[in-house]
Amino acid sequence: MSEAVFRETSAEPRTQSVPLSHLSLELGHLYMEDFEAGPKRLGEHFAEVRIWVEAARASAARRAGPGRPRISTCFLIDDYFSRFSTPAEIVPLILKEAEEAGLTIDYLARESGCAVADRIELAESVMHRLVESPPPGSYGSRPPVSRTGWLANGQRSPGRGAALSEVTAWQPPQETAARNHSVFMDVELWSEKDGRRLWSCPFLAAVWQLARLGLLRHLGEPVLTPKPWDGDDFPHDWDRLPPLLQLNPDADPFSAYRTCTLMPNRFLAVEDAVRLILDQIDVDTDALAQIDRRSRGEKAEVPAVVAQRASYVFYEEPADSRTEGI
């Protein structure tokens, strides 16, 4: 005779699902120096992006199959590494230049929201989900990423021994999953400044990608969720602007099965680092299973590897408008 087993429902937190589009299309990921360059620079960005938007939409429609593809657009503002002007001045400028280029921004996000949103330490939470892939032949001599803040896709070159008798010949780094030849990367995830952890641009961008792919959860609840804009004037303080704002009430869902990011080619190295980070994150398994199941149900299957769900279009900026550094 079998015995009944009783469990408190609170002991088994339920992973809440999120609405999903077929594609999250990012129309910009610019920094304060881009805004300092004036409306002309912003207009040039949107004019260039507009060329590629239709191709991205056509690709999403082909993958989505019959019926109207659900596509939402978003724009990310850097208010984490520097703060320039105010939302009251910057946001209307962005919306005006986008509209003049024939584009609609459905969702507006602050980069600082990828670090902390609604008092939840998102970046810290994702950091604890990093799972390093130990390179073949390694013996644990490299400190863990949680201590160093550096994440690699393979084995670094061995350091030289302290004693003269330990000096050995130089050895190259090795990529763990190399095909014929290695492409080795070593990515800084954070630094310490004035006793405060400063998350790197690639790491925050990886959190941003997880949000757009609908894979961020805190105790089973979605995080970095859109807050509707009530149509009033935008605030004069960045901290009073929600981390993620829904500007278009008729927009398709923010998160999506796939993402596409349209940006200047100076961000190429950063986004390579983002993909390296995504490859080594232990994503919430329930959220992942939900999305995989729903995508199959819609006949819009997604790649098993999360990083492969993100695509990019990099465009070349005019020589007189390039911004040094990021």
Please check whether residue 141 lies inside any domain of the structure: no
Please check whether residue 169 lies inside any domain of the structure: no
Residue 319 confidence class, pLDDT cut points 50, 70, 90: low
Query: Which residues, including other chains, have CB under 8 Å from residue 301's CB and lie 6 or more apart?
Result: 295
Q: Which residue has the higher pLDDT, 142 or 16?
A: 16
Tokens of 105: 């921004």
Amino acid at 118: D
Amino acid at 92: P
From residue 289, how far is each of 135, 169, 242, 283, 285 by CA, in Å? 28, 47, 29, 10, 6
Nearest to 145 by CA among 134, 132, 158: 132
Please check whether residue 164 lies inside any domain of the structure: no
- pLDDT of 124 reads 95
Q: With left for phi above 0 and alpha for psi between -120 and 50, is residue 299 left, alpha or beta?
A: left
CB atoms within 10 A of CB 203: 24
Domain of 90 in residue numbering reads as 15-128+207-317
Please check whether residue 166 lies inside any domain of the structure: no
Please check whether residue 182 lies inside any domain of the structure: no
**Tokens 């925050």, residue located:** 204
Please check whether residue 67 lies inside any domain of the structure: yes
- pLDDT of 141 reads 57
What does the pLDDT look like over 27-69, one tens digit per residue?
Answer: 998 887 888 888 999 999 999 999 999 999 999 999 887 788 9
CB neighbour burial string for 117-138, b if at least 16 within 10 angstroms, e if fewer: beebebbeebbeebeeeebeee
List, in sequence order, every residue forming a beta bridge with 313; answer none if it has no partner. Answer: 262
Distance CA 221, CA 184 (A): 36
**Tokens 């999903």, residue located:** 20
Residue 321 confidence (pLDDT) above 70: no
Distance CA 319, CA 285 (A): 45
DSSP state of 115: T
205: part of which helix (H) or strand (E)?
helix 201-212
Please check whether residue 212 lies inside any domain of the structure: yes
Tokens of 86: 């105010």
Q: Percentage of the chain with pLDDT > 70?
A: 87
Mean pLDDT for 195-219 is 95
Please check whether residue 155 lies inside any domain of the structure: no
**Tokens 């724009």, residue located:** 75
Q: In this structure, are residues 242 and 234 in contact, taking their beta carbons and an 8 Å threshold?
A: no
Domains held by the chain: number: 1
What does the pLDDT look like over 92-130, one tens digit per residue?
Answer: 999 999 999 999 999 999 999 999 998 999 999 999 999
Q: Which residue has the higher pLDDT, 3 or 49?
A: 49
Nearest to 257 by CA among 221, 288, 233: 288
